[in-house]
Structure 1
Amino acid sequence: MAETLRSRMARAAVPIVALVLAGCAAGPGGRGEVESWLTVPDGSARLAQQPELAWQPGTPEDAIRVDPSHHYQEMVGFGASITDASAFVIQRLEPSARAALLRDLFGRDGGIGFAFTRLTIGGSDFSLSHRSYDDMPAGQTDPELRNFSIDIARAEVLPTARAALAINPELKIMATAWSAPGWMKTSDSMVKGTLRDAYYPAFAEYLRRTVEAFATEGVPVHYLSIQNEPDFEPENYPGMRLSPAQRATIIGDHVGPEFARAGLSTRILDWDHNWDQPEQPLAVLADAKAARFVAGVAWHCYGGDVSAQSKVRDRHPDKDVFFTECSGGEWSPAWTEAWPWTMRNLIVGATRHWARGVLMWNLALDEKHGPHLGGCGDCRGVVTIDSGTGEVTRNPEYYALGHLSRFVRPGARRIESTSPVGEVLTVAFADGGAHVLLAFNAGSQATEVGVAEGGRHFRTRLAPHAAATFRWPARK
């Protein structure tokens, strides 16, 4: 994870003041027509349902306009990665506490409805060991993958994913390799190096067998990227540098055909790295063989600007966009810096720039920001689980994701919404018979907000850095 995120988030910080949420309530004996939920950085509300608001006639000039006639991407969902570390801390909860937490994270009945997650293929920095699914002693190789086994995933990750699927059968799962087995690489190690040309076919088979083995365990892999952060070689945890030309060859000549021969429906995503190098996925998509098998591009937040997602999508409107990793951490105070940055860039920014899915990094970590082996020593999970007491702390990322994940189900479509009011940022969705609008006040002053649709409007007031999700029945 790059240090650039810390400096960007620090620049985003502004003072927090109290919030007033005031609406035009329904008349005596009446019932409001707009439901709303609120989060306030000062802690006075955390995704808390508010009194219903009533529509008034007219469309004020300064109102946010929601227009369902203009629609964009279909949503897959929101969530966070079930890393080895996340599964470890979740599985060590008492069974009743574990079940309650998973219902809260993945359930739609009283939970926040996560519908998208990401698993690592073998070890990462948030693993208890740096192992692949086909390790060999130094100097030995296994090109026929006779030693292949997903036993390390069977211990905790796959049971956690199965439990999440049981709660939310709509859950879509992405899998990502942090490194090929060491013997396939120039470093003869999971750490650093690149993939040897001679082992491109073996790596494709390794990924195909992983997808098939996960499915046998009841965990279907809907999306896959062949390499996490391919332009970065970490010093002390698994990684593997792969240039655009290498990725194009690996996908176009090996992984794509291997998956096709096996009849796999898993969709391949390229890049899975930062916003600051859109030229990398563009180079892969310029290769005709690779482009045939690449379903979309995955992005991380640790460098560049979220607008890169649209730059690539504008060139390739037939390819999906996913946002697949960002982490909060102790370098950025939770509610004064991390919350507004996440709302601005990921919850509103990523979705307005075409993301069909939005993922944070670790779903859960302990109070010591782990367990981890190398890499980030002060990252924050979406939730923190105290290893001694089992107490669960819901972090700003939980509430940020929840402002959409609870209300925007898989299959919903983003629709047009304007943001004419100061620094109020919006994103809107049509979800079945309802319309959903998220409004976030990114400014330093309290702001009155009007929301208009179809010749009617309602009004409310948001203080700095307050977020409100509104939901109302769509007109027939």
Structure 2
Amino acid sequence: MAAGQDHSESAGSQPVSRRALLAAGVALPVLTAATPAAAATSVVVEPSNVQQTILGFGGMNHAVWISDLTASQRDTAFGNGAGQLGFTVLRIPVHEDRANWRREVATARRAIELGAKVIASPWNPPASMTETFSGGKRLRYASYGAYAQHLNDFVAFMANNGVNLYGISIQNEPDYAQEWTAWTAAEIVRFLRENAGRINCRVIAPESFQYRKNLSDPVLNDAAALANVDIIGAHLYGTRPADLPYPLFREKGAGKELWMTEVYHPNSSDSADLWPQALDVGEHIHRSLVDGRFQTYVWWYIRRSYGPMREDGRISKRGANMAHFSKWVRPGYSRITATANPQANVYVSAFRSGSRIVIVAINKNTSPVDHVFTIRNTGSARVSTWLTNASATLAHYNDFTVSNGSFNAQLPARSIRTFVLN
């Protein structure tokens, strides 16, 4: 970046150097003919216009289907130092076989020690409680009470092993139950009305695989069922951006939390280090928080070739996109209004905790873009920024001082950049 392009950024602060990139073992980009940066456009951040409270970012650990995270990988996932993801949510399974419950303890306990929330989701009840029908497998109606006790037993087992669950789901993806237990909306409502009140933990439902409202609308529209659910959970597999807003939840979900509890995006076939495709993750988080107003963003397997942590335990480019949020937008921060899409292929979200403001800006264009950022009702502040692009991963970019609540900053081509104002 040439001197003077970021007019408010201090001259003494330098972008990431070639030497630093080589020392970090990252590849340098192939140089092509440069396209001039577009004229600066405006981004307005309004700290007083508070939206939802952010509760965390994280992923899934399933110690039966794949190997457990190692001790160092747990720290990489849930620690928040250099080279760590800063995750604050862990999702684990409620195995139908109680003999497997102990296999989830070590990672869950370490996540708790590092300040994360732990939630759990069942794929199946114990086999003795299920029956087959034309649509597959379902929980016997006569076993609803026993199933609630089964969930309670898991809550108690984890608590006795140092893991106080934040929430427990009644079923993972009941509307995509080709290999696990299916539930209709009416069955979910019935269980919530008649049995969920006995569960000694926050209750999560319905965890539709595609945020299909025909599964959650009946819950929101039934006062007795809604009284016994604490978290409306959803997955976002193939969910269209137009389907992210949920007016009925805003109308009837007062006092309830809205969690995105599972996704991988855009696929599970590409390497998580493929660039610029990994920026799709940053955009997806942006849309989930801004358009969907979700309070959490939870990935599928934490460690996978397509996940936030590579099989060798290092943060992937997809993981870096998550970490641009998770490392600086901590639980309890509030999303605040900001110009979300100041130009094509640029996405901006903002958050605050007290006087600290965090801005995450994504530029998917092939050229750098300049923006004038205006923070309403803010005077002077010290700003630190971090960058991920093709040749840098969560690299400290520069520091500068803001005066009169305004600064000009450039977003490099195909990059995600986090600004932290103190």
Change (3 A) 1:461 1:26: closer
Aligned-partner Cα distance in 2 for 1:250–1:444: 51
Q: Is 1:357 paired with 2:304?
A: no
Q: Is 1:218 paired with 2:162?
A: yes
Q: Which residue of 2 aligns with 1:395?
A: 316
2:56 equivalent among 71, 77, 80: 77
**Where do 1:239-318 residues align within 5 Å?**
239-256=180-197, 258-259=198-199, 264=200, 266-275=201-210, 277-311=212-246, 312-318=248-254
Q: Which residue of 2 aligns with 1:433?
A: 355
Q: CA deviation at 1:84?
A: 1.6
**Where do 1:56-75 residues align within 5 Å?**
62-75=41-54
Query: TM-score normalised to the size of structure 2?
Result: 0.79
1:442 equivalent among 364, 372, 383: 364
Q: CA deviation at 1:194?
A: 0.8
Change (3 A) 1:287 1:26: closer
Q: CA deviation at 1:247?
A: 0.5
Aligned-partner Cα distance in 2 for 1:288–1:315: 13
Q: Which moved more, 1:398-407 or 1:302-311?
A: 302-311
Aligned-partner Cα distance in 1 for 2:56–2:237: 21
Q: CA deviation at 1:441?
A: 1.3
Query: CA offsets per residue over residues 323-369 of structure 1, 9 Å max, x none?
Result: 11112555345434752322112x2011112111110000114xxx6
Q: Is the 8 A contact 2:372 2:407 kept in 1?
A: yes
Q: CA deviation at 1:242?
A: 0.3
Q: Is the 8 A contact 1:417 1:428 kept in 2?
A: yes
Q: Is the 8 A contact 1:421 1:449 kept in 2?
A: no
Question: Once superposed, which parts of structure 1, at least 4 consecutive aligned residues long, lie more than 4 Å away?
Answer: 18-22, 25-28
Task: Quote the sequence identity (%).
Answer: 22
AA in 2 matched with 1:327: Y
Q: CA deviation at 1:165?
A: 1.9
Aligned-partner Cα distance in 2 for 1:429–1:307: 23
Q: Is 1:115 paired with 2:91?
A: no
1:106 equivalent among 57, 78, 82: 78
Q: Which residue of 1 aligns with 2:35?
A: none
2:344 is paired with a residue of what secondary structure? coil
Extract unaligned runs of 5+ from structure 1. Answer: 1-17, 33-38, 46-59, 92-97, 123-131, 134-149, 370-379, 386-390
Q: Is the 8 A contact 1:63 1:421 kept in 2?
A: no
Aligned-partner Cα distance in 2 for 1:383–1:109: 15
Q: Which residue of 2 aligns with 1:174?
A: 119
Q: CA deviation at 1:215?
A: 0.9
Change (3 A) 1:444 1:20: farther
AA in 2 matched with 1:350: S
Q: Is 1:197 paired with 2:169?
A: no
Aligned-partner Cα distance in 2 for 1:21–1:393: 35
Aligned-partner Cα distance in 2 for 1:326–1:402: 16
Query: CA offsets per residue over residues 91-128 of structure 1, 9 Å max, x none?
Result: 3xxxxxx33x3222211333332111111101xxxxxx
Q: CA deviation at 1:31?
A: 8.0
Aligned-partner Cα distance in 2 for 1:87–1:420: 42
Q: Which residue of 2 aligns with 1:24?
A: 7
**Where do 1:327-338 residues align within 5 Å?**
327-328=264-265, 329-332=267-270, 334=272, 335-336=274-275, 338=277
1:63 is paired with a residue of what secondary structure? strand
Aligned-partner Cα distance in 2 for 1:187–1:153: 25
**Where do 1:177-188 residues align within 5 Å?**
177-187=122-132
Q: CA deviation at 1:220?
A: 1.0
Aligned-partner Cα distance in 2 for 1:280–1:337: 35
Query: CA offsets per residue over residues 221-274 of structure 1, 9 Å max, x none?
Result: 111211001012224xxx111011100111110122x12xxxx3x221212123
Query: CA offsets per residue over residues 251-308 of structure 1, 9 Å max, x none?
Result: 110122x12xxxx3x2212121234521210112212211111123112121222453
Change (3 A) 1:175 1:79: same
Query: CA offsets per residue over residues 301-327 of structure 1, 9 Å max, x none?
Result: 212224534224333241321111112
